[in-house]
Amino acid sequence: MEYTHRNIPQLILREAFTEYASPNAKVCRLEQSGEVIRLKRGMYITSPQYSGMLLSQELIANHLYGPSYVSYETALSYYGIIPERVTIVRSATIKRGRVFNNDIGEFEYIAVPTDYFSIGVRIEIVENEYAFLIATPEKAICDLILATSGLRLQSVKAVREYLYKNMRIEEESVLQMDNTIIEECIQYGRKRNDLTNLAKFIRDEQSI
């Protein structure tokens, strides 16, 4: 059997094997043989070894738990804005926070306010083959500031140190940022003062 979908709900697998006396047992055998990979209960993907397709952790993250969008260090790494390669796929969600561990990796979901959720989220289309929701760079930074316990950016100088020294973000990336997204986040997110200083820092950098 040739699988053409990256995400395969268990119901589809059962329907594909209706000729078997025990479809669930067939699904288990496929998992044991490595033909499918279990993401969570009732959700599987075809193994790249059998499908010939590369796996997108970002696409998997969207489907694994939603509504959600990829953000935080994961989004910044995806855009090449920070030099580090992240090991945990982190997303924002309007549901309660969750963590999933499977053979693909670790997926963490952080709860954000509903009104705040939709700000600065875009659809990333990859080679006209698939698409997923991801935060813009500006929203990813706002998400990261809000989610980092103990982080207080009480001045523009503190923002500069956080972005350039701690996060090692390149100045050119800051110069390309859309400050209107950050200003929208200020209206809904916590740490209003921190985000206000972030917006002011970006305005100052872009005015030089």
Instruction: Give pLDDT, residue 152.
Output: 94
Consecutive 10-residue averages of pLDDT for the chain (208 residues): 44 59 70 76 73 75 95 97 92 97 94 95 91 97 96 96 96 95 90 96 93
Q: Which two tokens stand for residue 131?
A: 């698409």
Q: How far is CA 89 from the centre of its chain?
A: 6
Dihedral, CA of residue 65, residue 54, residue 6 and residue 126, to nearest 10: 70
Half-sphere exposure of 103 (CA within 13 A, CB side): 15
Token pair 């309007």 in the structure block, residue: 94
Instruction: Give pLDDT, residue 1.
Output: 29
Given a contact cutoff of 8 angstroms between Cβ atoms, the answer to whether 159 and 153 are in contact is yes
Phi first, then psi, for residue 57 (nearest 5°) are -65, -30
Burial of 183 (0-12, 13-18, 19+ CB in 10 A): middle
Q: How far apart are CA 75 and CA 102, in angstroms?
A: 20
Burial of 125 (0-12, 13-18, 19+ CB in 10 A): exposed
